[in-house]
Structure 1
Amino acid sequence: MMPRVEARNLPLRPREQLILDAVEPSARIARDFAREVLANQHNRAGHIDDVVLVVSELVTNAVRYGSEPGDSLLVVLAADDRRTRIEVHDPSRRLPRMKAESHERGRGRGLHIVDALARWGTGSRPFGKYLWAEVEKS
């Protein structure tokens, strides 16, 4: 399955941004950042949990597959009244792909999780790409 590429421009409140080193512990830092930003916007707990999980999966994928030692990532959160948008920017132009589900391997389920929780796609930038995901508020 290919990623969805339809993106919308949201009439967004100020965007919250975080620059991270492209290392495994950055996923935890990104989760904490997302949880704090969304809690300050008075979102319901279930929505916060969904966004935090999507952030974690996108940052983990960017660290594992979209960066090399010494690279940085950019995490952007923005919201309107209906959804929260997450963007994770990395320096690789290689697009993500969903792998066939497997019970044997311990990896490869991240985009399946994102796909179950959000609309998502990719975008290009001068020196890399970004993955975006929009989690609806219900």
Structure 2
Amino acid sequence: MPDRTQQFFAATPASVGAARDFALAALSSWGLSARTEDIRLCVSELASNALTHGTDPGHGFLVRIEADDDFVRLEVHDSRGRRPAIRHPDDTETSGRGLLLVEALSDDWGVEDRRPVRQDRLVPFQG
């Protein structure tokens, strides 16, 4: 099967839910149901991080998902050059656990350099 799809999203709060819907629609169209909840949560966390910490003015974020018989690869590209790192917040902090969740739910994760997403390339997801 190799299958791959991607979608640009505007830097708006509604895009986080749209990114989740996009990823789940792709998995469903490919007939993949294993670990969809894990993938949905990872999309939500990574898209939220891109929106909150990774988008420059006039830029959105990209969600790319691909699958074959052995794996599903999820990528979320943002527009800033800073590399995310796992934080270990104390019990009094109310945020900062997103990448801990991604690490716990995924078999592997990492960060790669790439070119920023441009606003003029955004196409809304029609879910």
Bin for the TM-score computed over the shorter chain: 0.7 to 0.9
- Within the candidate set 2, 11, 16, 2:5 is matched to 16
**Deviation of 1:68 (Å):** 2.6
Match of 1:49 among 37, 53, 61: 37
Q: Does 1:69 align with 2:69?
A: no
Aligned CA-pair RMSD: 1.6
Structure 1 segment 52-131 matched on structure 2, within 5 A: 52-118=40-106, 119-127=108-116
Return structure 1 stretches of 4+ with deviation > 4 angstroms: none
SS of the counterpart of 2:48? helix
Greater fraction strand: 1
Residues in 2 aligned to 1:104 and 1:62: alpha-carbon distance in whole angstroms: 24
Equivalence for 1:38 = 27
Distance 1:91 1:37 in 2: 24
C-alpha deviations, 1:53-101, integer Å up to 9, x for none? 1111111111111113321111100011121101111111100011113
TM-score by length of 2: 0.83
Structure having greater relative contact order (Cα 8 Å, sep ≥ 6): 2
Contact 2:10 2:60 in 1 (8 A): yes
Per the alignment, in what secondary structure is the counterpart of residue 3 of structure 2?
coil
Q: Which amino acid aligns with 1:95?
A: R
The count of residues paired between Structure 1 and Structure 2 equals: 116
Identity of aligned residues (%): 37
Q: Residues 103, 13 of structure 1: CA spacing in aligned structure 2 closer, same or farther, 3 A cutoff?
A: same
What is the rounded CA distance, in whole Å, between the counterparts of 2:56 and 2:116 in structure 1?
Answer: 14
For residues 83-128 of structure 1, give each alpha carbon's deviation from its aligned partner in whole angstroms, at most 9, with x where no partner exists. 1101111111100011113322221110000000111001111448
Structure 2 gaps, min length 5: 118-127
